[in-house]
Amino acid sequence: MQENFIKKGVVMLLAKQRFVLDTTAFTDNQLREDYGEGELTKTVDVLLDLIARSRIKLNISCHMPPVTYKEFSDYMARYECPEEIMVKAETWIVKKTPNRYDTKIPSEIFYEYVQDMRERMNKGMRISESAVWEAAVESMVMLSRGEKKTDVEVEVIGKSITDFRKRYRAALRKGTLDSAPDLDVLLLAKELGAGVVAADEGIKVWGERLGLRFLSAKSFPKMLGEYLKYYE
C-alpha cells in the first residue's frame, strides 16, 4: 500500500516533465560505447526502451520537431536501421512543429546571435585570406624549383583546401546554431517549457542563454534510469 502511494507520488512529481531531443541525443559516439557496444542501432534501441518505459510509468514525454526527426531518421537509414526500431521511434517520440509565430524570444538574444555570427564571419574571412596567401606562396616556391604543376596541385592545393575547411568549419559552426533542426529544437523547448537533450555545443550555449534546462546526451539516459530505479 505504502509502496503504491510512493509510486503515485513519484509520477505526480514527474508528470509535467517534457524533453525535446536533438539528433545527437541518439547519435553521440559516447552513447554507442556506453549502451550499444559501439553499434548505433543497438544504442538507439536501448534508448528508445528507456523512453518508452519512462513514458508509461512516469509520464515523461520526449519530443522532436518534424525537421529534426527527419534528420534523425535519414541518419538511421544510412546505417540500415531495422524497421522495428524505427517503428519504436515513431511510436514513442512525439513529433510537433514549434509555433514560430507566437513563441517569444528576447530581443537581447537575437542581438547576441547576430553579433556572434558577425564575429564568426569576420574570423572566417581572415582564415580564408590566410589560406590563400599560404597556398600561393608555397605554390610559387615549388614551381620555382621546377616542380610539376600536378605535384603542386596535390601537395599544396589539396592540403590547403582540407586544412581550410577544417579551420573554417570550426570558426563558423562550433558552438553556435547552424541549422534549422537546431533552431527548431530550441523553439519547441521554449514553447513547451521542456528540457533540451543534445550533444551539440551550439544548442547547449544558446539553450542556456534562453533559460532552458539542458541535459547532455550521455546524462539523459542515466537520469531516466535513476527515476525508473526508484519507481520499479
In 3D space, the residue among 66, 72, 64 whose CA is nearest the CA of residue 26 turns out to be 72
Q: How far is the C-alpha of 130 from the C-alpha of 132, rounded, in Å?
A: 5
pLDDT value of position 156: 73
Q: How far is the C-alpha of 5 from the C-alpha of 54, rounded, in Å?
A: 18
pLDDT value of position 9: 54
pLDDT value of position 19: 98
Which of the 8 DSSP states describes residue 18? Answer: E
What is the DSSP track for 148-203? -HHHHIIIIIIHHHHHHHHHHHHHHHTTS--SHHHHHHHHHHHHHT-EEEES-HHH
Same domain, 39 and 88: yes
For residue 6, the enclosing domain spans 2-103+179-231
Task: Give the three cell numbers for residue 114.
Answer: 547576430
Same domain, 123 and 166: yes
Same domain, 150 and 208: no
Same domain, 11 and 90: yes
Q: What share of the chain is helix, strand, coil (3-state, %, to 5)?
A: 70, 10, 20
What is the DSSP track for 21-51? E-THHHH-HHHHHHHSTT-HHHHHHHHHHHH
Query: What is the tally of structural domains in the chain?
Result: 2
Same domain, 94 and 185: yes
Same domain, 185 and 95: yes
- Asked if 28 and 199 count as a contact pair (C-beta separation under 8 A), the reply is yes
Task: Give the three cell numbers for residue 70.
Answer: 527527419
Same domain, 99 and 202: yes
Q: Which residues of the chain have pLDDT under 50?
A: 5, 14
Inter-CA distances, 146 with 133, 138, 143, 152, Å: 20, 13, 5, 10
pLDDT value of position 131: 80
Q: How far is the C-alpha of 86 from the C-alpha of 63, rounded, in Å?
A: 15
Same domain, 97 and 205: yes
